[in-house]
C-alpha cells in the first residue's frame, strides 16, 4: 500500500485546480495543467477571445470553424439542450451576460430586458456542420455558454492524459468537480474520500464525505455564485424558460457518475428538476447517483449502490 501522496496545484479557470498522485510526476502534472489552460483558452466566454467567443461574435453573420474538441462538446451540449429544454440550454449566454452573477456589475435586470434576451436563447437557431466543424448562431446577439459542462469535459480529458502517463490512481479536482481514478491506495477498501462542501459555509466546512471508487463527483449549488438583494438570493443556475434563477427547495445537487461530463450535465439538469422529479428520473437511470441537499437541511440520497455518504454536520439530517 502506497503511503505518500503528491499534490500539484494551479489557479486555472478562475478556481484552484489540484491533482493528487501517488508517485511524484512533475511532467505529467505540467502536461495536465498546460492542457487545461489550452482548453480553457478555447472554451471560455469570460475573455475577449476564445473559439467560443469567435462563434458568439459572428452570431447572425457567418458560421465559424472550430477545433474538433470544441465542436464535439458543442454538439453534445446542443443535443442535451434540445432534449431537456426546460432545464438545460447552452444558448443561455445572453441571460447569463445580462445578470452577470458572480462578476463585476451583477444586477437584477428588469423583466423587459430579460424578455428581450430570452428571444436570443433558442438552441434550434444553432446550426452545426459536422463536415467543416463549424457552428453558426443564426440570430445576431445569440451567445453560447458552456459553463455548465466545460469543467466536466476537461476533467475527463485530464483522466485520459494521466492514463497516457500510465497513472491509474489519482484525484483530479477542478474547483469542486472531482474525478477519482481507480481505487484509493491509502484508504480502507480502496474508497476515495471526497469532501462535500457545506453550502454557504465561510471556511470550506464539510457537510459530509462521499466515498467512491473510480467515479466522478460534481456538484451544482446555489452557493457557488450568488448575490443577495432585498433578502432575495439570486444564483447562477437559470430557468431557461423564464430567464430568472431557478427557485426551488434545493441548496445543491451532487451527481456521482462514471464520466465527469455526464456528472456536470446532470448536476445542472437535476438541480432544475428538483428533488421529486429528479428522484423519479434517477430511478430510471440507475447509472447516475445523487445527493440532494435541501434548504430545510435534509439530505436525500438516490441510487446508493455507487457510493456511500458519511454525514459530518449535525445541522443536516439524512431522510
Q: Which is nearer to ligand AMP, 117 or 220 (CB)?
A: 220
CA atoms within 13 A on the CB side of 255: 30
The residue whose Cβ lies closest to ligand AMP is: 147
The set of long-range contacts for 293-301, using a CB threshold of 8 Å and a minimum separation of 24, is: 293/199, 293/207, 293/221, 293/250, 293/251, 293/252, 293/253, 293/254, 294/249, 294/250, 294/251, 295/249, 295/250, 295/251, 296/249, 299/207, 299/208, 300/275
Stretch that binds ligand AMP, among 9-17, 164-172, 261-269, 310-318 (CB under 6 A): 261-269
Other beta carbons within 10 Å of 200: 12
Q: Are 302 and 286 in contact (CB under 8 A)?
A: no
Nearer to Mg ion, 148 or 196 (CB): 148
Interacting residues with ligand AMP between 121 and 160 (CB under 6 A): 145, 147-148
Instruction: Select from Mg ion, ligand AMP, none the partner in contact with residue 89, using the beta carbon and a kind-dependent cut-off of 5 to 8 Å.
Output: ligand AMP
| Residue 96 makes contact with ligand AMP by CB under 6 A | yes
| Phi, psi angles (nearest 5°) of residue 309 | -130, 130
For the CB of residue 145, give the shortest distance to Mg ion in the complex, in Å. 11
56 vs 220, beta carbon nearer ligand AMP: 220
C-alpha grid cell, residue 261: 461530463
Partner touching 92 among Mg ion, ligand AMP, none, CB below 5 to 8 Å by kind: ligand AMP
- Residue 37: Cβ-neighbour burial (10 angstroms; 0-12, 13-18, 19+): middle
Q: CB of residue 212 vs Mg ion: minimum separation in angstroms?
A: 18
Binding mask 266-295 for Mg ion (x = CB under 5 A): -xx---------------------------
Take residue 293 and report the three cell numbers written for it.
441537499
- The least CB distance from residue 268 to ligand AMP, in Å, is 4
**Please, which of residues 220-249 interact with ligand AMP by CB under 6 A?**
220, 224-225, 236-238, 240
Binding flag, residue 216, Mg ion (CB under 5 A): no
Site string for ligand AMP, 183-202 (x = CB under 6 A): --------------------
257 forms part of the interface with Mg ion (CB under 5 A): no
Q: Applying CB under 5 A, which residues contact Mg ion?
A: 148, 264, 267-268
Amino acid at each position: 500500500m502506497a503511503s505518500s501522496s503528491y499534490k500539484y496545484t494551479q489557479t486555472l479557470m478562475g478556481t484552484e485546480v489540484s491533482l493528487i498522485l501517488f508517485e511524484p510526476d512533475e511532467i505529467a502534472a505540467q502536461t495536465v495543467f498546460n492542457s487545461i489552460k489550452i482548453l480553457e483558452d478555447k472554451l471560455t466566454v469570460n475573455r475577449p477571445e476564445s473559439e467560443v467567443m469567435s462563434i458568439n461574435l459572428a452570431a447572425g453573420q457567418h458560421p465559424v470553424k472550430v477545433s474538433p474538441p470544441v465542436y464535439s462538446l458543442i454538439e453534445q451540449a446542443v443535443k442535451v439542450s434540445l432534449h431537456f429544454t426546460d432545464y438545460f440550454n447552452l444558448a443561455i449566454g445572453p441571460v447569463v451576460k445580462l445578470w452577470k452573477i458572480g462578476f463585476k456589475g451583477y444586477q437584477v435586470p428588469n423583466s423587459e430586458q430579460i424578455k428581450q434576451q430570452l428571444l436570443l436563447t433558442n438552441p434550434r437557431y444553432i446550426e452545426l456542420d459536422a463536415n467543416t466543424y463549424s457552428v453558426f448562431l443564426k440570430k445576431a446577439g445569440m451567445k453560447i455558454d458552456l459553463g455548465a459542462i466545460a469543467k466536466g469535459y476537461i476533467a475527463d480529458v485530464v483522466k485520459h492524459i494521466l492514463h497516457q502517463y500510465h497513472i491509474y490512481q489519482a484525484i483530479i479536482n477542478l474547483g469542486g468537480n472531482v474525478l477519482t481514478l481507480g481505487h484509493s491506495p491509502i484508504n480502507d477498501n480502496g474508497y476515495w474520500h471526497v469532501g462535500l462542501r457545506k453550502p454557504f459555509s465561510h471556511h470550506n466546512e464539510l457537510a459530509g464525505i462521499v466515498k467512491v471508487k473510480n467515479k466522478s463527483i460534481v456538484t451544482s449549488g446555489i452557493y457557488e455564485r450568488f448575490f443577495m438583494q432585498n433578502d432575495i438570493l439570486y444564483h447562477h443556475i437559470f430557468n431557461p424558460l423564464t430567464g430568472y434563477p431557478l427557485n426551488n427547495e434545493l441548496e445543491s445537487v451532487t451527481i456521482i457518475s462514471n464520466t465527469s461530463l455526464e456528472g456536470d450535465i446532470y448536476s445542472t439538469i437535476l438541480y432544475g428538476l428538483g428533488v421529486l422529479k429528479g428522484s423519479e428520473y434517477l430511478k430510471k437511470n440507475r447509472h447516475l447517483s445523487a445527493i440532494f441537499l435541501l434548504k430545510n437541511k435534509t439530505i436525500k440520497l438516490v441510487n446508493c449502490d455507487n457510493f456511500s455518504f458519511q454525514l459530518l454536520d449535525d445541522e443536516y439530517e439524512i431522510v
